[in-house]
Structure 1
Amino acid sequence: MNASSANALGTVAVLPDARDSGIYQTSPGLLRRRALGPWAEGIAQYMAIRVGDAARGRAAFQSLSRLLSSLPPEELLVAPGPRAQLYRLARSIAETERAMPGPIAEDLPWRDHSGRHGKALAKLREALDPDDAELLELRHARELSVEEIACVLERPVDAVELALDTAEALARKALGKAAPDPVAANATVYVEAFALARSWQELEGGLPPIEVDEEALEPGTLIGGRYAVVDRVGTGAFGDVYRAEDVEVPGHQIALKLLRQPSLSEAARQSALRELKLNAAVFHPSLVQFKDHGWYEQRLWFVMPWYEGETLEARMKRGALSRREARRIFEPLARALAALHETGIRHQDIKPENILLTRLPGTDPESDDGILPVLIDLGVAATEQETMLGGTPLYFAPEVAKRFVRERHGGPDVTSAADVFALALSLRNALEPGTQEDVAAGAIQAFVERRAEEMPPLPEARDLRYLAPSLRTWLSLDALERPSALELAEELAILTAPEERRARRGRLLRWLVPLMTTLAAIFVLVVWALDRRAAQEEVAARQARSAAAEARADYIVADARRQALEEGHASLLAQYERSRMSREELAESLATQGGQLRIVRGELARTLEQLEGAQQQATRLGGTLADAQRESERLRGELDASRSEAGQRLRERDAARAEVERLAAGLQGAEARARRESDRADAAETELTEAR
């Protein structure tokens, strides 16, 4: 990465159409600030390592800052560029500081690497002589090119290349299996080997501020004929922020931002007004609002509400946010970001430093309920149609990092999803500041290359582990997998989900306990009633057992009676069967006699027919009367005999019929008696069944 692209890794954005507009006409102090800013951390660590003492290294860095305040800016622009010139000056000052009398601790707070990896890094630092170690540090940890290293060490480029190859060979030998790929552009292991601990500045009082020569406005200066300056409260890359009073509204304080660089052309004026125009396109309580603007000595100023509070970054230094506090802060911010995106604007520089936590008037200062988060600084914002990029490397989305890795040309499109990533990462760091990423050794390029390919680490605290699936989505390497800002605002409810579940259980218990008490009382009453009923049923059971014993005795008697009735019934049935057999025999006899009678009647009919034939023959023949009479008498005698026999047979038949009728009457009487006995048996069975 060249010097210009590295410089763009700060919060400075470049408008493609403003290069010749006068926007770069700036003061020497501002040029020095911008030149040192992106590399300040790396230079400070380099100087501390050169001196061998963290505290004296800080003092050396402060000397460098003072030197830059008086250095002609042209000297920084000498080839191979400002970064090489800054490191050359830093090396010279560090050597001077080390040579000065005074104790040197020689116990630098190296970045903590536990286990085998940490031992390998310590072994590497011990195995290399100071010159080889410095070469590796400048090339990999400070990310200087060979030409820049040659400028810093004041040695020929060829000699530096040869010495660097030798140093890398020695380093690979010392590291063994932990050695990096020889063709790797940036070896992470070398970056880590020459990186001081994250807390080295805090332990020594912090990195000294970069001194600039811009003078603040005098208190009482009237801006726009209305706003009287009270004091300067902040400085930034583009301008200063003042607290001022509105003279037209007594007692009303406002924040006034004054840009440092004058706008010397119409294009420069339009570029300066750009932030105002973007801000005017959207309104949300958690977006800073501009109330007025104007020009002071050709420099743009604009008025914002005066907020009492602190930045989220300052709040994080006091400790991690609770999940409840984080939700109260980040939900409004996500909705403000959604309002910004709805108008087609990307913020591009969301980070804790640009989130102001202001307290609403009349709220309890000890409570977080009255905190209103405000997203400030739209200085590098862009519309969806603009291709300008900006931001802070620590909060780059992967797609933004890829664009910078590829020298800001090519790579994936940058959309509003990059803002969602930065806001989610700010949330993750606010929940667990102690494990947030930092730029090891100030190696911005190595960090950005890693960010382009790797997701930031997730929180390690036990009570935050359940957020891992959500954070993986919010911080996804694929911008399409991330939610929109509005969806993120809804999903942030998961931050307080455990407490809400406990609250629901608490509310449930508040009405469940009285209910359970009532149910317990009802249960006691029911048990008492059941016991009483059981006692009553026991008495009834004893009575029932006594009645059952009596019923069994009655049953035995009834059963004996039933058996007697059954025996009588069987006898009656047998008698009935016998009677039925006699009747069948009589009917057979009658049928036989009836058959015989029919035969006699047939014979009689034939005889009568013969007689009639004879009479007819007697009439026809008119024979002798004597013969006929004799024959007639004879025949009459036979007829009488036949009639007598037939009469006898008829009498016998009548006698037989009378006998049959008598037997039938007797049989009917027997059947009637049998039916009566059967009815008695049925009645006995019914009584027996009822007795059972």
Structure 2
Amino acid sequence: MPGLEGKTLGRYELYQLVGRGGMADVYKGYDVHFDREVAVKVFKREDEEMLRRFVREARLMASFQNEHLVPIYDAGQYQEDYDTRYYIVMPFMEGGTLRTRIRQSPLSLEESCRALNDIADALDYIHRQGIVHRDIKASNVLLDAQGKYYLSDFGIARIATDATQLTTTGNVLGTVDYIAPELFQDNHRADARSDLYSLGVLLFEMVTGQLPFAAENQLALVSMHINKQPPSPRSISQDISPQIEHVILKALEKRPEQRYGSASELADAFCLAVTASSHNQLVLPPV
């Protein structure tokens, strides 16, 4: 799909490409009716699967009522000659993505606590609605101008009771860097616990500045998620105490039942460990 900078979709003027993905591109734009900057997510393909994802994501986002989930302003389609564009309009987040923020430097432990609390609030909310996100990663967390964190991108989210295997027609759903090991097993359905593993990977990345596993290809990376224990976070950052490391590694347990029971439980344990560490208290977080 050619770039759309300078074009207008309905009442939205698109003037800068700010994000590119396999399913859609995101543009910084301007809403001429309400005189405000917006983010316009424009879907690339014009097939039935794309349309299903567009409708699903728009409906999910419109149903959310949580301060840490990106709200939706508008959704629609625009016809130009024989070219149909489907799009979703959201607030433009001045702070960019968490991925960009981490690339600058790892987050401090205190900032990681704040980020984790915001993300956990959003994740627990969608889990209570019976929704599994399935693509928790740093580029799907946005920051506003005040530094508040938002969970975004529900293009491959599913109701937990739906058929939610890792692959469809041979393609990986989600991002292999963050995917829980159990999802590589035959007939295993994604559930809230697989989202929590991805959140654990994200937490590791926030405090160390790197992912727990890296490999030259996806097959090798999958093998590491399944078989290899993550490295000690303390071997990467001297700021990480034994208590904090305990929390991070528990979030990355291979067996789903050995992880935390909810995103907020993980966030509470991590923030308690950070507070204890700052006061030099040897207090283990709840197990």
Same fold, TM-score > 0.5, yes or no: yes
After TM superposition, list the pairs within 5 Å mapping 1:504-653 onto structure 2.
none
Give yes or no for contact 1:311–1:356 (8 Å, CA) kept in 2: yes
Counterpart in 2 of 1:278?
60
Counterpart in 2 of 1:492?
270
Q: Describe the SS at the equivalent of 1:393.
A: coil
Q: In the alignment, residue 247 of structure 1 is paired with which amino acid? A: V
Give yes or no for contact 1:256–1:304 (8 Å, CA) kept in 2: yes
Question: CA 1:278 to 1:435, structure 2 compared with 1: closer, same or farther past 3 Å?
Answer: closer
TM-score between the two structures when normalised by the length of structure 2? 0.85
Give yes or no for contact 2:23–2:50 (8 Å, CA) kept in 1: no
What is the Cα deviation at residue 341 of structure 1?
A: 0.5
Deviations 1:43-102 (A, max 9, x none): xxxxxxxxxxxxxxxxxxxxxxxxxxxxxxxxxxxxxxxxxxxxxxxxxxxxxxxxxxxx
Q: In the alignment, residue 259 of structure 2 is paired with which amino acid? A: R
Counterpart in 2 of 1:474?
251
- Partner Cα distance (1:238, 1:457) in 2: 33
Counterpart in 2 of 1:397?
180
- Partner Cα distance (2:60, 2:222) in 1: 28
Q: In the alignment, residue 134 of structure 2 is paired with which amino acid? A: Q
After TM superposition, list the pairs within 5 Å mapping 1:449-460 onto structure 2.
449-459=223-233, 460=235
- Partner Cα distance (2:3, 2:75) in 1: 19
Question: CA 1:218 to 1:349, structure 2 compared with 1: closer, same or farther past 3 Å?
Answer: closer
Counterpart in 1 of 2:218?
444
- Partner Cα distance (1:241, 1:321) in 2: 25
Question: CA 1:449 to 1:262, structure 2 compared with 1: closer, same or farther past 3 Å?
Answer: same
In the alignment, structure 1 residue 292 sits paired with structure 2 residue 64: no
What is the Cα deviation at residue 437 of structure 1?
A: 2.2
TM-score between the two structures when normalised by the length of structure 1? 0.37
What is the Cα deviation at residue 477 of structure 1?
A: 1.0
- Partner Cα distance (2:275, 2:19) in 1: 38
After TM superposition, list the pairs within 5 Å mapping 1:352-391 onto structure 2.
352-360=138-146, 371-388=147-164, 389=166, 390-391=173-174
- Partner Cα distance (1:359, 1:276) in 2: 24
Question: CA 1:415 to 1:256, structure 2 compared with 1: closer, same or farther past 3 Å?
Answer: same
- Partner Cα distance (2:52, 2:204) in 1: 37
What is the Cα deviation at residue 281 of structure 1?
A: 3.1
Partner of residue 21 from structure 2, selected from 236, 257, 282: 236
- Partner Cα distance (2:92, 2:56) in 1: 22
Partner of residue 245 from structure 1, selected from 30, 48, 54: 30
What is the Cα deviation at residue 278 of structure 1?
A: 2.1
- Partner Cα distance (2:102, 2:50) in 1: 37
Q: Which runs of 4+ in 1 moved over 6 A?
A: none
Give yes or no for contact 2:132–2:190 (8 Å, CA) kept in 1: no
What is the Cα deviation at residue 465 of structure 1?
A: 3.6
Q: Describe the SS at the equivalent of 1:299.
A: strand
After TM superposition, list the pairs within 5 Å mapping 1:50-65 onto structure 2.
none
What is the Cα deviation at residue 436 of structure 1?
A: 3.5
Give yes or no for contact 2:53–2:156 (8 Å, CA) kept in 1: no
Give yes or no for contact 1:395–1:425 (8 Å, CA) kept in 2: yes
If asked which structure has higher relative contact order (CA below 8 Å, sep 6+), I would say 2
Structure 2: gaps of 5 or more residues: 167-172, 282-287
What is the Cα deviation at residue 268 of structure 1?
A: 5.7
Give yes or no for contact 1:335–1:489 (8 Å, CA) kept in 2: no
Deviations 1:151-210 (A, max 9, x none): xxxxxxxxxxxxxxxxxxxxxxxxxxxxxxxxxxxxxxxxxxxxxxxxxxxxxxxxxxxx
- Partner Cα distance (1:491, 1:233) in 2: 35
Q: In the alignment, residue 497 of structure 1 is paired with which amino acid? A: T
Partner of residue 45 from structure 2, selected from 257, 261, 281: 261
What is the Cα deviation at residue 431 of structure 1?
A: 0.8
- Partner Cα distance (1:443, 1:286) in 2: 33
What is the Cα deviation at residue 253 of structure 1?
A: 0.7
Q: Describe the SS at the equivalent of 1:377.
A: coil
Q: In the alignment, residue 215 of structure 1 is paired with which amino acid? A: P
Deviations 1:234-286 (A, max 9, x none): 22111221122111123x111111111124x6x76344311112223322222
Structure 1: gaps of 5 or more residues: 1-213, 361-370, 404-408, 504-692
Q: In the alignment, residue 392 of structure 1 is paired with which amino acid? A: T
Q: In the alignment, residue 272 of structure 2 is paired with which amino acid? A: I
Higher helix content, 1 or 2: 1
What is the Cα deviation at residue 327 of structure 1?
A: 0.6
Give yes or no for contact 2:230–2:249 (8 Å, CA) kept in 1: no
Counterpart in 1 of 2:284?
none
For these two proteins, the number of residue pairs brought into alignment is 266
- Partner Cα distance (1:316, 1:334) in 2: 18
Question: CA 1:495 to 1:300, structure 2 compared with 1: closer, same or farther past 3 Å?
Answer: farther
- Greater C-alpha radius of gyration: 1
- Partner Cα distance (2:70, 2:17) in 1: 19
- Partner Cα distance (2:148, 2:272) in 1: 20
Question: CA 1:227 to 1:438, structure 2 compared with 1: closer, same or farther past 3 Å?
Answer: same
- Partner Cα distance (2:228, 2:246) in 1: 16
CA RMSD between the two structures: 2.2
Counterpart in 1 of 2:3?
216
Higher strand content, 1 or 2: 2
Question: CA 1:218 to 1:395, structure 2 compared with 1: closer, same or farther past 3 Å?
Answer: closer
